[in-house]
Structures are given as C-alpha cells and as structure tokens.
Structure 1
C-alpha cells in the first residue's frame, strides 16, 4: 500500500506543464548594499535607477524534441512606445532579464505593461503570461 501511494505521488509530481512568468523589480538608489552598511560607494554619487523584468520559462520534457522555441517579450512603456524582443529557447527551463535603466528609463518613464509568449517557430502558442494591465496598442498612421 505504501509503495502504491509513493508511485501515485511520483506520477503526479512528475507531470509538468508549460509556463512563462514575468516579475518586475524596481532598481532604486536605496537598494544599494552600501546604503545598509554605510560604506563608501562610487555608485552613491550617480546611482542607477530603472526597472528589471525577470522572465522565466519551463517546457515539458516530452516537448524537448520539438526544440528550439521562440519567446516573445512585448513591452509597452509609459510614454506608449512599444518594443518587441525575441529570444530563441534551447533549454527546457531557463530565463533572462530585460533591463530598462538610466537614460532609457528617464526617456520612456519605465515599463507600463508587458506580455511574454512562448511559441514554436511556426507560430503555434505554447504558453503566455500577461500583465494585468496588458492591452494591444492601436496605432494610427
């Protein structure tokens, strides 16, 4: 009986699904380590400010034979500029960081909303993550 429970638990835990997640972090002068220990730091004179998007993904092991995949990160800034970045995915799990720092942060006002899509190179969607305020921009040419 005990081995049966272990076996069922093992099967349920080994099943995985595709996912993409995005976390947004602020980069502030108060986050410098030297602020907490009051040590000399040249970054205090001209601190970095901005935002970082931390994107992570996971693909089912069974889908590995269909590699590589494409991960699209669509970002809309507070000044309503839109930027689309594409990354080729070769591993089952991984991630990357997208930074909006200093001059770019001041010019755009920072990130307003974002969407990450994991898809095949044929365009078939696998997983998607949208910020709660995500919207498609309508452009008038």
Structure 2
C-alpha cells in the first residue's frame, strides 16, 4: 500500500505509520495486529503495539484494509487492493484467504438500503471452509502452516 493512498484518505504520514503500511503491504494473507507488530519488531522496527492497533483502526476507517475475524473473534487485516471492499473465503485450518466474487451480495445490500431508506449501509460477510491442502484425505503431509490442522 503506497503512502499516497493513506494521504489521499486523509491520514497524516509519520515514520511509524509508514512502517506499518509497508509491513502490511508485504503480507499476502490476513494478519493480526500482534503478528504484524512481531514482524516489525523482528525486522528491527521500533513501532509500539498500541501504534499498530491505532494505525490499523485508522486504515479500516479510511477503507484501506479489509477486516475479518478469526474463530476467537480477533480482527485480522489485509491490504485492500482496490477502492471497494472485497469478500473472502478463509480456510479455518491454515488461515489462507481467497477473494470471491460476491456481486449478488452487493446488489442485495444496495436494494435493501433503497427499500428501507437506510443510508451508508455497511455489511460483513464471512465465508469459511477447509482448503484443499488442509482437507482430510488431501495431501499425505500435515498442513505446513498450522500443526493443529484438522487432519
């Protein structure tokens, strides 16, 4: 995620915010604030966990990240590749995410807003399953991403 997107969304640029944005931009899958903070720390960064949480919350409000919740309710973040939010299918075992076409959901939500007179309608749709790599009877080796895989 380029710093220009953050500025365009009205977020002030700081060294720490740029570090969070850069680290988040290198994550191909959803990541928790704590995991993101650990990556920053492991790379020698000096960004505090509170700053990571605050920055992610600001990015969410600005529409620059997609957010889902894991089984425990923890929020996970992924850089939004477009100006529109996306829906994802997430593996309950390894956490791998895959964007899915959910145009029918968007049309339904827009129609619902129009029919009820609600404005600024927001929605959350979470789809979970078990990916082919983690599905019992799949590959012989255990899931490499999570030892507690259901196999």
Q: How high is the TM-score relative to the length of structure 1?
A: 0.20
Task: Return the structure number with greater relative CO, CA threshold 8 A, min gap 6.
Answer: 1
